[in-house]
Chain A
């Protein structure tokens, strides 16, 4: 589905965003995103995987330029590519950013209950959206657009006259996705859009997300910790650990031939039907982002840790086609699975 020649749509350069907390006079710095370089292409589903507290959500906030204290951008840049032109998002004014939102980049958050206004009918939420972005339409005109849009996505247009609490969790989440797709954005950012849902409902929501992507031919950046979801929808996956990208590759490659020891643990420990062999979790537990270990953040848990891992964070290097890894083991041995 993704051509390797597909143009870029989103790019980050050495992005660093930290939470700077001031607790009892001592400053505490949580390095949630610690130097991330991303190149996300047109017409692809880019999955970001990682466990809770590895900085995935913070990265999304930075991509969406929704940085609010105590989160601060320490360095780096985020570019959107619009009509072949790169826009440095953090150089834009408030009004320009507002205009890009929902029209160019939209956001599907996790808890759909807390997204839709509980005291407004859905048609009012839709109306607010359309009025502020589609010029010169009356209320009735905007409603017609909303109804047509829901119909195209196979959702019953009668939900427009419902309050959020009257809908089931799955329907609410699908309405949120529909809302995010309303203005045909080029990038849709989904933060665990299916996490709290039941498997069958989750499948329905993913189905909708996929069909939206296929119709709009846009890019979806999907964050979830569920590797099964990634395997099902993503074209490329980035694995995040303790605020850094440690591996990035096409989805088949990540599942078949992971190179970073953490990714190997992550993939090998997934339970599979028809396979009852013993699965091992990675030893130890994830580090606190406020007290990161020096060097590679995975070294305290890594079975292959060497002296260099303790001293220096490895750069992310390209191995083969479209496969990037940040690990000293891999730099020593450029082809094949790490020892």
Chain B
């Protein structure tokens, strides 16, 4: 079975400042990954790591500086208007804050009818209502509960489910969810996350789950890519990446999550950076400034993607050639 969506060497530069003092920041740098059918793929990282920019590039809100996004049969990656409609029919988005997704002055049902109309999903109101009712049932709501109501009449969790139902109308093969639970109350968070699991198992929908919350990512996802300052630093099965992280950044990130267990309190202390831009502008590995295992080569050259037991790690520590030379140097020092 081929990949549903394939991202190849995606790159996006943003330029800041005036004509004279221009500062270029590469928000997404040489990112490649693919999403298989019926799979939940997590794109995880801290704010400013480029995960949302990647999502915006996939959705076509931004034009990539270089690289390609290949979806299904569309192997050329060019986007004409008709292709765009076809593309968004297969790839739908869910955003972070459901109260910002919907216009507070419009009834929620308008969005459903609009989607039906835009994609020509049904002719006539009766058919449209049945279709809408079906998708709302899939998320545990019904058309009767939703019709005639404004966004403010729903709770955050409900409205996020409404937002997911709207995305499901076009019967997409891929949902792109950008921090879908960060605005939802803790007691309702799992109901949204479980919904993604159900959609995957029952309707074969794939989900790109963009999040900073590694605990829910572990719970719901099949594979994960950890991003740092525009690079994917580690990618692989969620079990091996999060339970035995290899990249020093993933290790730090994993250890910094406050676990809901009073017996697992932090013992070690960490230091923080004060300036973010600096890391974007680094020549070699962008984590070199904070890495506990930094070597000279890390500051100069971008590390290669190394395959370690099926996990892709962007780090010199796992690059045999580098470690061999290093071993020789150490041996020479000792000698």
Contact = CB atoms under 8 A, between A and B. Distances in A.
Nearest to A228: B258
A285 interface: yes
Contact of A281 (B187, B242, B258): B187
Interface in B170-198: 185-191, 193-194
Interface stretch (A128-136, A142-150, A203-211, A214-222): A203-211
Given A200-B46, A207-B266, A286-B187, 5 more contacts: A200-B252, A204-B270, A281-B187, A281-B188, A285-B155
Nearest to B257: A199
B218 A271 contact: yes
B186 A225 contact: yes
Interface string B230-259: 000000000000110000000011101111
Interface in B27-72: 46-47
A51 B261 contact: no
B157 interface: yes
A265 B191 CA distance: 12
A231 B270 contact: no
Interface size of A as a range: 35 or more
B158 to A, nearest CB: 6
B187 A282 contact: yes
B152 to A, nearest CB: 11
Contacts of A170: 272
Contacts of A265: 187
B20 interface: no
Contacts of A267: 260
A305 interface: no
B274 interface: yes
Interface of B: 46-47, 155-158, 185-191, 193-194, 212, 214-216, 218-219, 242-243, 252-254, 256-266, 269-276
A228 B252 CA distance: 16
22 contacts: A51-B187, A199-B212, A199-B253, A200-B256, A202-B256, A202-B258, A207-B269, A227-B186, A228-B257, A251-B262, A255-B262, A269-B187, A270-B260, A271-B190, A271-B216, A272-B261, A273-B214, A278-B194, A281-B191, A281-B194, A282-B187, A286-B187
Which residue, B157, B258, B263, has most C-beta atoms of chain A within 10 A? B258
A267 B260 CA distance: 8
A198 interface: yes
Contacts of A272: 215, 259-261
Best-surrounded residue of B156, B214, B252, B260 (most CB of chain A within 10 A):
B260
Interface in A217-240: 225-229, 231-233
A266 B190 contact: no
Contact of B262 (A204, A252, A270, A281): A252
A276 B238 CA distance: 11
A281 B242 CA distance: 23
B274 A167 contact: yes
A171 interface: yes
A260 to B, nearest CB: 12
A257 B68 CA distance: 52
Contact of B259 (A51, A225, A231, A282): A231
B243 A273 contact: yes
A37 B258 CA distance: 29
A251 B264 CA distance: 12
Interface in A239-278: 251-252, 255, 262, 265-267, 269-274, 276, 278
A98 B9 CA distance: 59
A282 B186 CA distance: 10
A279 interface: yes
Contacts of B156: 52
B259 A286 contact: no
A89 interface: no
A313 interface: no
B258 A229 contact: yes
Given A227-B186, A266-B186, A271-B219, A168 B258 contact: no
Contacts of A285: 155, 157-158, 185, 188
Nearest to B47: A198
Nearest to B272: A204
A186 to B, nearest CB: 24
A262 B193 CA distance: 19
Contacts of B276: 168
A171 B272 CA distance: 9
Nearest to A198: B46
Nearest to A241: B187
A51 to B, nearest CB: 4
A283 B320 CA distance: 52
A265 B214 CA distance: 20
A207 to B, nearest CB: 6
B265 A232 contact: yes
A54 to B, nearest CB: 9
A278 B191 CA distance: 10
A319 B191 CA distance: 32
Contacts of B214: 199, 273
A100 interface: no
B270 A200 contact: yes
A280 interface: yes
Contacts of B191: 280-281
Contacts of A183: none
Interface string A41-85: 000000000011000000000000000000000000000000000
A288 B186 CA distance: 16
A52 B189 CA distance: 12
Nearest to A167: B274
A8 interface: no
Contact of A231 (B216, B242, B243, B261): B261
A310 interface: no
Given A201-B272, A232-B266, A278-B194, A266 B257 contact: no
A270 B193 CA distance: 12
A102 to B, nearest CB: 26
